[in-house]
Amino acid sequence: MSNRKGGAMSAVDGKDAGTPEQHTTRKPAGVRAPGGTHASESVSEHVGESFDDNAGENLGDTVNESVGESHGTNADQPALPRRAASSIQLKGLHKRFGNEVAALDGVDLSIQPGEFFTLLGPSGCGKTTLLRILAGLEALDEGQVVIGGRDVTEVPPHQRSVNTVFQSYALFPHLSVRDNLAFGLKMRGVAPREREARVAEMAEFIKLGSLIDRRVDQLSGGQRQRIALARALVCEPDVLLLDEPLSALDAGLRSQIQIELLRLQKRLGMTFVFVTHDQQEAMVMSDRIAVLDSGSLQQVGSPREIYERPANAFVARFMGHANLFDVTARDDSRSDAIRLTTPLGVLTAQAPGTGSLLLLRPETLDLRRRPASEFERHDVLENHLPGRVQERLYRGSHAEYRVEVAGVSVQVVVNNRGGQLPEVGDQVDVVVAAQDLITLGE
Ligand SMILES: Nc1ncnc2c1ncn2[C@@H]1O[C@H](COP(=O)(O)OP(=O)(O)OP(=O)(O)O)[C@@H](O)[C@H]1O
């Protein structure tokens, strides 16, 4: 699989680098670009501290506080002029490899201009195939791809204004940073003087200006990742496709570069289509997420919609820990609440939906220790489920519990606020808030 992904190197380096027509229409310095961006302004001016070597120190900012509109605004960094971004429409995509199971089985998607849009799903669900179809690297059996209002279904990769950052980075290890960055521009016929200026600007932007003449195989993993990203951006595509671009990085560097990448995307206002199988990464980065399974879209929505209102059991389980129970009966006779009969007992819910599966996220549950004298007082309090702690995993900031309720195991996450935490063997009530109860389809 990785070979296949890495094997697309020539596409990103050469054919995928944009059209000859595009560079003849590039604005000379000083001309205002369509999106309001001044073409003479350097990218590094646009993105400010992004890719600062000390960026890790700023990670106390939550992403929600520090990036674009859908994630809130950052008061310290004024909004920058945006590029004209492209929308993407995918209609009825079908792709089958040989007689095997369909890699894509009727996918319809609409991606807004300037969105950070993530394709998320387990291994083999079709994420990379979808990305390769967008790049023009894979032919469709059926369907239509429209980018920036233009039907590109039959358009070859080098004539699409998209560029791809691959998992393997697909860099030339024996070439310098300068030559790696210049490659795509050269293939597009950009004149040497302009090429040099753009490469130097981009190297400064990624804070690797001092290493511009160093060979790529003499750089660290994080530096290579930045070069791969810079090489895709230097060609100024309308859409950037990113295929698990952070997966080779260790956890610390990965979360640092996640935030840098997100800040960069918000400042450029460019449409990013990002592939990952990491749920946390998808939730941190994305404006919207499409969850795929076996070539079919399961749900498209904001991270909160996907996590808190999953469309079905697959999405609920895939996005995080999920207690799922059958609802065997429901009573709508009370005007203020609905009563659901489940294997845990009867629970009162406010607006649970109409599905037949009850979802309880572990962190929405609470535990109350039940004094021995009260243990027989089952069901006295609404939505208090008596149980016994089977297992506790202490994790510092929180503890993860398994509690047996009516012979069924329930996962509960309790924040550690410094008070007493129930221990294995304790009698407890699992407390369920009526507004947190939702039901799903199978
Ligand atoms: N060139 C190919 N020839 C045959 N089958 C393929 C080819 N490319 C992909 N497939 C199959 O199509 C399905 C989707 O593959 P795809 O690479 O798109 O999945 P993915 O979600 O990106 O997986 P991963 O996260 O493991 O990269 C898989 O069953 C895969 O084996």
Assign 415 to helix, strand or coil.
strand
Tell whether ligand 1 has an atom less than 6 A from the beta carbon of residue 123.
yes
In angstroms, what is the span from residue 125 Cα to ligand 1's centroid? 7
Give the per-residue pLDDT at 210: 85
Tell whether ligand 1 has an atom less than 6 A from the beta carbon of residue 323.
no
In angstroms, what is the span from residue 309 Cα to ligand 1's centroid? 28
Tell whether ligand 1 has an atom less than 6 A from the beta carbon of residue 167.
no
Rounded (10°) angle between helices 221-233 and 192-205: 140
pTM: 0.77
User: Among the atoms of ligand 1, which is closest to the Cα of residue 4?
Assistant: 1
Tell whether ligand 1 has an atom less than 6 A from the beta carbon of residue 134.
no
Helix, strand and coil percent figures for the chain, each rounded to 5: 30, 30, 40
Is the CB of residue 332 less than 8 Å from the CB of residue 338?
yes
Is the CB of residue 364 less than 8 Å from the CB of residue 439?
no
Please tell me the residue having the least CA distance from ligand 1 atom 31.
Answer: 124
In the block, which residue shows the tokens 């089952």?
378
In angstroms, what is the span from residue 253 Cα to ligand 1's centroid? 27
Give the per-residue pLDDT at 373: 63
Give the per-residue pLDDT at 340: 94
Please list the alpha-helical segments (H only) found in 48-119.
Answer: 63-66
**Bridge partners (DSSP) listed for residue 146:** 89, 151
DSSP 97: -
Closest CA to 316 of 291, 344, 337: 291
User: Could you report the average pLDDT of every consecutive run of 10 residues in the chain (442 residues)?
Assistant: 33 32 31 31 35 35 37 37 76 90 93 96 94 94 95 92 80 88 86 89 79 88 83 86 84 82 84 94 96 96 95 95 94 87 93 89 92 59 92 96 97 91 94 92 79
Pocket test for ligand 1, best of 127, 137, 138, 242 (most atoms within 8 A of CB): 127
ipTM: 0.97
Closest CA to 267 of 35, 8, 103: 35
Give the per-residue pLDDT at 26: 33
Q: How many CB atoms lie within 10 A of CB 222?
A: 20
Please tell me the residue having the least CA distance from ligand 1 atom 30.
Answer: 124
